[in-house]
Amino acid sequence: MKSCTRYVKQKRGRRWWTPECGQVKAVLRQATELAYIRTEMRPLAAKTRTIYRRTLRDAKKKYEELQETLLLQRTERKPYLWLRNVPHARSACPVESGRLYGHFRSILSTHDTIPRTVPTVMSVWSEEDLQWRAEMQEYFTVQEVAEAIRRLPKKKGSGTRRYL
């Protein structure tokens, strides 16, 4: 039989790990090795695995309960310590939106700057863009395609560069 001391040590990042967890893990490893050699030991290995998982779950639960108890004890001395780990819930603004709108409007601008209509796309395009768009709506001729292909460099892939 192998010694269980190898798994009794504290695991890194697992503060809830107890010596009992290490002992059950060592027994599970031995049962798994036996089940690999002798097939009639497989049900024993399955039961050991269930016990191991239950032991880990119980150890985690006890650790979390202990941490909560310690935190409650610390908050008795410092009452606002508890609020550090609690995410803040969003609440509705107590000031009505019309009053806020009027307040910031008087501070930030002398006239209404909120657009009441959505601008059309044509109003933002320059004359050059409109001309290019009109050219692109026309069909390409065979001569234009052939000329564009002739202008491509020899033995080069097109890649992301635009030649047309």
The residue ranges of every structural domain in the chain are 5-84
Read off the pLDDT of each residue in 109-116 and give the average, rounded to a whole number: 71
Instruction: Tell me the backbone φ, ψ of residue 68, rounded to 5 degrees.
Output: -65, -40
User: pLDDT tens, 71-84?
Assistant: 778 777 766 655 66
Please state, in angstroms and rounded to a whole number, the distance separating the CA atoms of residues 126 and 12: 64
Residue 121 identity: V
Give the model confidence (pLDDT) of 41-77 as tens digits: 888 888 889 999 999 999 999 998 998 888 778 777 7
pTM, 2 dp: 0.42
d(CA 65, CA 1): 35
